[in-house]
Chains A and B, each alone.
Chain A
Amino acid sequence: MAKFKVLVGINYPDGSGGEKRAEIGDVVEDLPEKAAKWMERDGIIEPVSRAKSSAPKDEEVEG
């Protein structure tokens, strides 16, 4: 699932009838898609861009 950084405190369904709470600065990846859509639009969350994984460098082989 997509990861989002929380910019305003939120409560969202935990999938089992309850709620989860996320505070400013938390990163969440279990937001319902419908909620993520309006919260991103309203500036309540922002997507976390995946850090580019650096390709392993070839080891130099001493001759």
Chain B
Amino acid sequence: MPTFRHGKNTKVFINEFDLSTQLREVNTTAEADTAETSAFGTTDKTYVIGLLGTSLTLSGMFSGAAGEIDALFNSWNGDDIDKVVSIYTEGVGAAGSGTGRAVQQAPGKFTMRTIPSTLTDMVGIQANIISDGIARSGRSLHDYVTAESSTGNMASGLDNGVLTSNGGSGHLNVPINTRNGTSIIKVQHSTDNSAWADLVTFATVNASTITSERIVVAPLTTVNRYLRGQWTIAGTTGAITFALSFARH
């Protein structure tokens, strides 16, 4: 049986910001170029597929204070810098249940910002993002709802059924961090769901620091059948809340 999800639980992380409470719609579109190959004598058009590209559109409610959506979109628009865009289209679930859900990952550049203001609705804000390279559908490896204050890992690995051999990409978004020690967050892989090897190790997250990072695992690299999130947390007080995902390429 298919598992359907309501869009209301979608989470949108861009860099170290969780913008979900200010957005109402997100669209991720992957589209391939086409080159026509029809010639004299043919009656139906024929094509060859070219390069694949991904674009995203965001639409939400205008909020103009410092650090809020308008200020962020304004500073990002046209800056030619890849953002760590992670769209949790299936939501993140209740505490302890969010791993394994679909995540759209993109290294995104902001190309347009629009502020629509009408007589009959809230002032809005919209943005267009173009993926600067590979955008892929990945899976959540940490339950974003759970704030972590001790070292741990996913209770069980995420089973892909088979290994893949073309690398991948890991996304880490840390929007909340009150922990008074460092955090080291990793993606690990395994063939047996028992012993694990590091696949992606993100830069150490400093105490009380919000951050984000995208790491690409080189093409042709083997990614074994099972994946899990693993975190090593130092310090004594506070907690870190993070979204972690990996996409096989």
Interface residues of A (CB under 8 A from B): 8-13, 31-32, 34-35, 38-39, 42, 44
Q: Give the A-binding residues of B (Cβ under 8 A).
A: 153, 186, 188, 191-192, 194-198, 201, 222, 224, 230
The reply to whether B195 and A13 form a contact with Cβ atoms under 8 Å apart is yes
Closest to B192 in A: A34
A12→B48 CA distance, assembly (Å) = 48
Chain A residues with CB under 8 A of B201? 9
Main secondary structure of the interface of B (DSSP, over half): strand
How far is A8 from B201 in the complex, measured between Cα atoms in Å?
Answer: 11
Asked if A32 and B222 sit within 8 Å, CB to CB, the answer is: no
Residues of B contacting A42 in the complex (Cβ-Cβ under 8 angstroms) = 197, 222, 224
Interface centre among B153, B192, B195 (most CB of A within 10 A): B195
Q: In the assembly, what is the distance between CA of A12 and CA of B230, in Å?
A: 13
Instruction: For the complex formed, measure the closest distance between the CB of A21 and the CB atoms of chain B, giving whole angstroms.
Output: 9
Beta-carbon contact of B197 and A32 below 8 Å? no
Chain B residue contacts of A11, Cβ below 8 A = 153, 188, 195-196, 230
CA gap between A12 and B188 in the complex, in Å: 12
Please determine whether A32 and B196 come into contact, CB atoms closer than 8 angstroms: no
Q: Is the Cβ of B230 less than 8 Å from the Cβ of A38?
A: no
Residues of B within 8 A of A32 (CB): 194-195
The answer to whether A31 and B195 touch across the interface, beta carbons within 8 angstroms, is yes
- Distance from B185 Cβ to chain A, minimum over Cβ atoms (Å): 13
Q: List 14 other contacts, CB 8 Å, given A9-B197, A10-B195.
A: A8-B197, A9-B186, A9-B198, A11-B188, A11-B196, A12-B194, A13-B195, A32-B194, A34-B192, A38-B191, A38-B192, A38-B224, A39-B197, A42-B222
Q: What would be 15 A-B contacts, judged by CB atoms less than 8 Å apart?
A: A8-B198, A9-B197, A9-B201, A10-B195, A10-B196, A12-B194, A12-B196, A32-B195, A34-B195, A35-B194, A38-B191, A38-B192, A42-B197, A42-B224, A44-B197
A10 to B192, CA, bound (A): 13
CA distance A44 to B196 in the complex (A): 10
B24 to chain A, nearest CB (A): 41
Contacts known (A42-B222, A42-B224); A13 close to B194, Cβ less than 8 A: yes
Check B194–A10 contact: CB distance below 8 A: no
Which of B153, B194, B196, B201 has the most chain A CB atoms closer than 10 A to its own CB?
B196
Whose C-beta in chain B lies nearest to the C-beta of A23?
B198
Docked CA distance A39–B198 (Å): 11
